[in-house]
Amino acid sequence: MKIAVLTAIWLAASIDANTIRRVFRRHTAQVKHCYEQQLTKDHKLRGRVVVRATIDGNGRVVVAEISESELANEALHECITSAVRTWEFPVVGNHAIYTIVYPYVFEPAPPPAPAPP
């Protein structure tokens, strides 16, 4: 399984994009697990999913949703958003609320090469 994480992050706050990227990368295994669970049911499952998360000033996710998806797979969407809701982001204080839009591109790993004769 391959997860290609695009580098575009849209932020509605003045917070360092690299800091946000690190939070998402730290949790790649959770997102990968969600994808792999669904891949066992649909071996051709592939496409782009965009996560939108709203974060409060204390770094807690108050809303997580799929804002775009090429995959008609509600179980995958729910698994990803449930995971994102548990993540912690940097504290920005001042009762700030910010929104992050983060894309993932999923594709199955190529089948293993046949063993040489």
Beta bridge partner(s), residue 98: 55
Does the residue 38 lie in any domain? yes
Domain count for the chain, please give it.
1
What's 92's domain CATH number? Answer: 3.30.2420
Can you tell me the distance from the alpha carbon of 34 to that of 67, in angstroms, rounded to the nearest whole number? Answer: 17
Is the pLDDT assigned to residue 40 strictly greater than 80?
yes
Encode pLDDT of 51-98 as tens digits: 999 998 899 999 999 999 999 999 999 999 999 999 999 887 777 788
CA angle at 40 for the pair 38 and 41, rounded to the nearest 5°? 70
Does the residue 113 lie in any domain? no
| pLDDT at residue number 115 | 75
Does the residue 74 lie in any domain? yes
Reported confidence tier of residue 1, pLDDT bands at 50, 70, 90: very low
| pLDDT at residue number 6 | 46
Beta-carbon count within 10 A of 106 CB:
24
Does the residue 116 lie in any domain? no
Residues near 102 by beta carbon (within 8 Å), at least 6 away in sequence = 5, 9, 20, 24, 50, 51, 52, 53
Residue with tokens 């090429």: 70
| Parent domain of 23 | 2-107
34-43, 68-77, 102-111: which range is least confident on average? Answer: 102-111
Does the residue 93 lie in any domain? yes
Does the residue 115 lie in any domain? no
Which phi and psi angles does 8 have, rounded to 5°? Answer: -75, 120
Residue 39's identity, in one-letter code, is L
Single pTM value for the model: 0.83
Q: Which two tokens mark 72?
A: 């008609």
Encode pLDDT of 3-13 as tens digits: 545 444 555 55
| pLDDT at residue number 76 | 98
Encode pLDDT of 9-36 as tens digits: 555 556 778 888 899 999 999 999 999 9
Does the residue 92 lie in any domain? yes
Does the residue 54 lie in any domain? yes
CA angle at 18 for the pair 16 and 22, rounded to the nearest 5°? 125
